[in-house]
A = this chain, B = another copy of it.
Amino acid sequence: MIKFSINKTAFQNALKITKQAIGSKVTIPALTKLKIEVEEKGITLIGSNGQISIKNFLPADNKDASMLISGTGSVLLEAAFFENVVSQLPEVTLEFIEKEQKQVLLTSGKSEITLKGLDSEIYPHLQEISEGSSLKMKVKVLKEIFTETVFAVSTQENRPIFTGVHLETLSTGELKAVATDSHRMSQRLLPLEDTDLKFDVILPSKSINSFKNVFTNDEEEIEIFISGSQMLFQNETISYYSRLIEGSYPDTNRLIPNEADYTLDLVFDAAQLRHTMDRARLLTVMTTNGTVKLTVSGDSVVTTANSPEVGSVHEELTALSKEGNDLSISFNPEYLIDALKVIKAPEVRIRFISNVRPFTLQPRNEESGFVQLITPVRTN
């Protein structure tokens, strides 16, 4: 039967990571539980919501954990409750002892808490990925391409493939990450180091959003494996599994305009443009389908937005450079704000074809790898 003592903070930190995969809204009741597996070599904390699964291993020789294992076994505990109990324990060390009928006695200082556990036999078997080709990437780089694309996924469940980010290894040796909700698109290309792993998958946006809470060391390198319907991100102690979205993603390259088609090329200070859009948005959110109009005429660039209920905004913008024809185009300022949020460069280049064709945004001077597309709104 399980018996171990451990540093409370180290145990709490490990629980916090595994808990990312455990939801309260699951259809299989066993999935609200945390599975604790204790072996002589260490403790594994396992959680899953059916979509994401996390195995987090705390090795017996981890120096922060001051672990002493004197009995092995496995048990299921109510995850959220167990995490709360551990966080409230009074002393730096806690002792975990399995009693008869899967009861667990937690002792810390003068506090003794008895928890009802369940037999781990009832926990569903988690599909695992047998070793194979892998791709190594820095956590920071993965987080960057996720941030640059995931905001553009669709929130509508009727076309599931658009609720994830498409990740594809190209024959050019690059990784392509792309997301679109049909109103806007964000695509990032990233040169990869040599790898045998080839893939063409759709990773759910929810898995991407919890990724950053699981892998918190940006400088760390992690390994990526793929098998059938699962993607695995792994470091020395954490295995983070995500199911993939089934279906084939459309070719988004054909959406990106040909260089020759652009008729207007503008460069803005990204922060200034963002603030102008924030002001326009104050009015457009008061109106259904509210749009901002950008009017380029000679050297003048003006944005206007109008809400019949509350008023109007009129603002002159300074273009850092302008080449091409005059244009007047309307669009949802929300999309431009979202796009600017993920552009870290101080200047942004925006190119237009016509007032009914999507326009493109790129960070100025880093134009090859990252491109975003926004579809205008036709107005009268």
Candidate in A88, A276, A286 with the most chain B CB atoms within 10 angstroms: A88
Of residues 273 to 310 in A, which have CB atoms within 8 Å of B's CB atoms? Answer: 275-276, 278-279, 282-283, 286, 309-310
The answer to whether B315 and A275 have CB atoms under 8 Å apart is: no
Contact B315 A111 (CB under 8 A): yes
Given A112-B314, A113-B311, 9 extra CB contacts under 8 A:
A88-B278, A90-B275, A104-B311, A111-B279, A112-B313, A112-B315, A113-B312, A114-B313, A114-B314
User: Does A199 have its Cβ within 8 Å of any Cβ on chain B?
Assistant: no
Chain A count of residues within 8 A CB distance of the other chain: 32
0/1 per residue, A262-275, Cβ < 8 Å to B? 00000000000001
Task: Tell me if A84 counts as interface (CB < 8 A to partner B).
Answer: yes
- List residues of chain B with CB within 8 A of the CB of A315: 110-112
Q: How far is B111's CA from A313's CA once the two chains are assembled, in angstroms?
A: 7
**A88 in contact with B311 (CB, 8 Å):** no
CB distance from A95 to the nearest CB of B (A): 14
Distance of A278 Cα from B111 Cα, bound (Å): 12
Of the A-B pairs whose beta carbons lie under 8 Å apart in the complex, a sample of 12, sorted by A's number, is A81-B310, A84-B282, A85-B279, A88-B279, A110-B317, A111-B276, A112-B314, A113-B283, A113-B314, A114-B311, A114-B313, A116-B309
A311: which B residues are within 8 A, CB to CB? 103-104, 113-116
Are A282 and B88 touching (Cβ within 8 A)? yes
Q: Across the interface, do A312 and B114 meet the contact criterion of CB distance under 8 Å?
A: yes
Residue of B nearest to A89 (CB): B279
One digit per residue, 1 when the CB lies within 8 angstroms of any chain B CB and 0 when it does not, for chain A 307-331 equals 0011111111100000000000000
Q: Which B residues lie within 8 Å of A78 (CB)?
A: 310
Contact of A115 among B112, B114, B116, B310 (CB under 8 A): B310
Docked pose: A296 CA to B116 CA in angstroms: 27
| Cα distance A370–B29 in the bound complex, in angstroms | 48
Residues of B near A286 (CB, < 8 A) are 81
Assess the B110–A316 pair: CB atoms within 8 A: yes
- Given the complex, which residues of B lie within 8 Å of A110, measured CB to CB? 315-317
A275 touches B314 (CB 8 A): no
CB-CB contacts below 8 Å: A71-92 with B: 78, 81, 84-85, 88-90
Residues on B with beta carbons closer than 8 Å to the beta carbon of A88: 275, 278-279, 282
**Chain B contacts of A116 at CB under 8 A?**
309-311
Chain B residues, CB < 8 A from A81: 282, 286, 310
Task: Find chain B residues with CB under 8 A from A90 CB.
Answer: 275, 279
Q: How far is the CA of A84 from the CA of B313 in the complex (A)?
A: 13
**How far is B108's CA from A275's CA once the two chains are assembled, in angstroms?**
13
A112 to chain B, nearest CB (A): 5
Task: Decide yes or no: A85 and B282 within 8 Å by CB, A116-B309, A309-B116 being known contacts.
Answer: yes
B residues near A314, Cβ cutoff 8 Å: 111-114
CB distance from A105 to the nearest CB of B (A): 9
Kindly state the separation between the CA atoms of A286 and B85 in the bound complex, as whole angstroms.
12
Smallest Cβ-Cβ distance to A113: which chain B residue: B313
Chain B, residue nearest A313 (CB): B113
- The 5 A-B residue pairs with the shortest CB-CB distance in the complex, in nearest-first order: A115-B311, A110-B316, A112-B314, A114-B311, A111-B315
A254 to chain B, nearest CB (A): 38
Task: Give min CB distance, A143 to chain B, whole Å.
Answer: 29
**Chain B residue with minimal CB distance to A107?**
B314
Q: How far is the CA of A204 from the CA of B91 in the complex (A)?
A: 42
CA A113 – CA B303 in complex, angstroms? 11
Rounded to whole Å, the gap between the CB of A280 and the closest CB of chain B is: 10
**Min CB distance, A193 to chain B, in Å?**
44
